[in-house]
Structure 1
């Protein structure tokens, strides 16, 4: 039993960094101590304690407290630790914790962040609140510039702080410039080289710069093979190019080649996480905009279209089954194999489409490699289908020894061949659709959810009855 009247020993209240999606029991005592101090209104003690903690640890504490306690704690924190905590919080937690704080507190917090971080946080607020905050911030021009770029583009997520020097600058002068700007720019991996007009002409890695003689001009040691992206390039394409070229940072240039900013390693990691979460939601038949704290109306709005699309697909499959009503009446045993066929079609299609989407996302699937990949999927699915068909045929024959079945050999042949055809066709469709969607500019992850499942269910049922009519009822 905790005693809220006793003065807690702050040195004994520590936090152990928790792995993702896991809570450590060792932190429970600290959680209770902080909660008791919040209930007792001991603001200064809480502030003194959390100033000693890393912002990530404070963020983890916030997300484990009850919402009303987390809001109060966040209001108690002075601007300096709050700034770092806000930067660590996931968007859904930011919007929940800060919804009752004042505009002045928002301004104090956001004023200490980089413009790109501020812009990202402002995206979580309603438009009227965001506009009011932008008007109060000191870097309003930089924030407004970032806000002009579309969401999920390089211009929206780029950092505007970088080291850019002219070609005739010496290595020694470049090192001095890096030291002068070390406080302004947290981590410098690459120095960008520009011509007299400010256009990007090359890059020099920091390691190479430090090893070069101090009088060496940058033009003699710079890498002229520079891969840059435009500000309107989709962030997923930026990530793909960075992985393909093994780049730690990616420069962003204007249409005429002037350097605008850079995509930092932190931003690349964030893009990878965002894209993975978006693909996961799309593959599950959920809107990419879904959040854990969505209202009932927003949940319905985000999920209902996908559910209705699945309903249409299921209705078409039911219509196909209904059109073979006479065949089912003649041989009711066929109904037992419909779930088997639909399951195999769905699984084969999902497996093939998942591999295709992954290849597209990572850049491993090249245009010249598409036909070869499709042929591999076709023959692999054919081989899997043959094995699955043989297993199913054997099970039918074994079952006929226990349960009386009419023409078991023909039934085994019909079900086995249908499984071979369904598996092969479903995998081919599953591998092809994401590639087609990617070519026409649609996120290929959309193919994995309702679309692939529904289409393969319809094709699977249709093929099954065609085989059954030909080899069992014919």
Structure 2
């Protein structure tokens, strides 16, 4: 049966930590998986969690810290001294350690780096912090296996053994020239089946996929997905091999990007979760709620311009929510498809071609739904045929325009360098609501002549 972290266990661990009962804590925690310990310390006060981090072996606590959510980890790290944090970072791969450093206040970072015992490790972390966190340079780790093309196999194997001590998982062996420029990769099978004096230049594979340190994370994910790669080497501006990105790093990146896009589509402007402060959650939600309020107020003003219609044809008012909702829904559907295509790099059509396709799709769907609405309003609700035609015609036109807006906006945002996920949120819904209401009453004015 799978182990479960229970409220009773969490309460017991918290009690032992607060009372500093080290032996009993060791007894409870020694056989637990680091992910289970992370779940426990995330649920207890940071001061008690920090005590457990100090108590356990640094190799294990490094894995525990990597399992925690960023906010939980930050609260615990702030309980530790710079020397203690440095001790944790010493046990981590450079990419994870750099991520942790980036979370710390600026005034602490320098102290932590100064206290890292391994000078090479500290130098690597400083280099990684120079890159944008969503670039290949920000995602990569410095740990990898590299060999020179002019080495014989015997020397190559000895060097691989030495380098592998710092690499948790060996995905690939990269080949560089005398200037450390990436020129290929090495097959382990070829390495083991040739004579020991054979030069690496005779057996390496010259074709190797790679990215530049400044390559955007989305492009890195696309390359790794397209070629089904477990690891991807990273080169600097002059082609020198400087790191590698592994599949677990890019999965974490994709997950974070998906969460950001989901929240942006829901009208949340910052990355927040349920544990964040009241102030932070309010700042994240309020801007888009304000936009929705302004948009809704504009919709009220639009309806006010047609008060004569509402006086003479009050039944039009009952269909206003239907028209607005269909406009918003169709716009979100269209924009969601475009945003997904952009994310997957499968949007190959030109803007005009895409708009034409969307026009045909929305017309066919709108025609069917409008006929159903015409039937329902005239034969079920017994509305006059002129009123039923007005409502049905408004629906099809609103659906066509909403789908075109939902297609045009995300493509335009993407070309402007703005996250197109913005177009699946309140922005597109609110704008289409306003367009829908305006079109509805404008058509009604023409057909019903008021």
Same fold (TM > 0.5):
yes
| Structure 1 residues 120-131: aligned runs within 5 Å | 120-131=99-110
1:381 and 2:362 equivalent?
yes
2:147/2:175 contact within 8 Å kept: yes
Task: Name the residue aligned to 2:95.
Answer: 116
Task: Name the residue aligned to 2:179.
Answer: 197
1:95 and 2:95 equivalent?
no
**Aligned equivalents of 2:136, 2:313: Cα separation in 1:** 60
**Aligned equivalents of 1:157, 1:219: Cα separation in 2:** 30
> TM-score, normalized by length of structure 1?
0.85
| Structure 1 residues 331-410: aligned runs within 5 Å | 331-366=313-348, 368=349, 372-401=353-382, 405=383, 407=384, 409-410=385-386
1:228 and 2:204 equivalent?
no
Task: Name the residue aligned to 1:8.
Answer: none
Cα distance change on mapping 1:31 and 1:298 into 2, 3 Å: closer
Could you say what secondary structure the match of 2:164 adopts? coil
Cα distance change on mapping 1:461 and 1:33 into 2, 3 Å: same
Deviates more, 1:126-135 or 1:211-220: 211-220
Cα distance change on mapping 1:77 and 1:472 into 2, 3 Å: farther
1:135 and 2:121 equivalent?
no
Cα distance change on mapping 1:387 and 1:205 into 2, 3 Å: farther
1:113-136 per-residue CA deviation (whole Å, 9 max, x = no partner) reads 223212211222222122332232
Task: Name the residue aligned to 2:60.
Answer: 81
**Aligned equivalents of 1:36, 1:385: Cα separation in 2:** 63
1:385 shift after superposition? 1.4
Task: Name the residue aligned to 2:239.
Answer: 257
2:269/2:287 contact within 8 Å kept: no
Cα distance change on mapping 1:413 and 1:293 into 2, 3 Å: same
| Structure 1 residues 156-305: aligned runs within 5 Å | 156-169=138-151, 174-204=156-186, 206=188, 217-305=199-287
1:329 shift after superposition? 1.8
Which ranges in structure 2 are unaligned for 5 or more consecutive residues?
Answer: none
Task: Name the residue aligned to 1:456.
Answer: 432
**Aligned equivalents of 2:195, 2:364: Cα separation in 1:** 61
1:208-245 per-residue CA deviation (whole Å, 9 max, x = no partner) reads 65567766654455443433222122212211222233
**Aligned equivalents of 1:371, 1:177: Cα separation in 2:** 56
> TM-score, normalized by length of structure 2?
0.90
Could you say what secondary structure the match of 2:132 adopts? coil
Could you say what secondary structure the match of 1:152 adopts? coil
**Aligned equivalents of 1:295, 1:225: Cα separation in 2:** 50
**Aligned equivalents of 2:171, 2:293: Cα separation in 1:** 52
1:446 shift after superposition? 1.4
1:154 and 2:136 equivalent?
yes
1:346 shift after superposition? 0.9
Could you say what secondary structure the match of 2:243 adopts? strand
1:86 shift after superposition? 0.7
Task: Name the residue aligned to 1:442.
Answer: 418
Task: Name the residue aligned to 1:423.
Answer: 399
2:149/2:175 contact within 8 Å kept: yes
Cα distance change on mapping 1:88 and 1:445 into 2, 3 Å: same
How many aligned residue pairs are there?
447
Cα distance change on mapping 1:211 and 1:458 into 2, 3 Å: farther
1:326 shift after superposition? 1.6
1:411-441 per-residue CA deviation (whole Å, 9 max, x = no partner) reads 2211111111111221222122212211121
Cα distance change on mapping 1:238 and 1:337 into 2, 3 Å: same
**Aligned equivalents of 1:274, 1:207: Cα separation in 2:** 37
Task: Name the residue aligned to 1:414.
Answer: 390
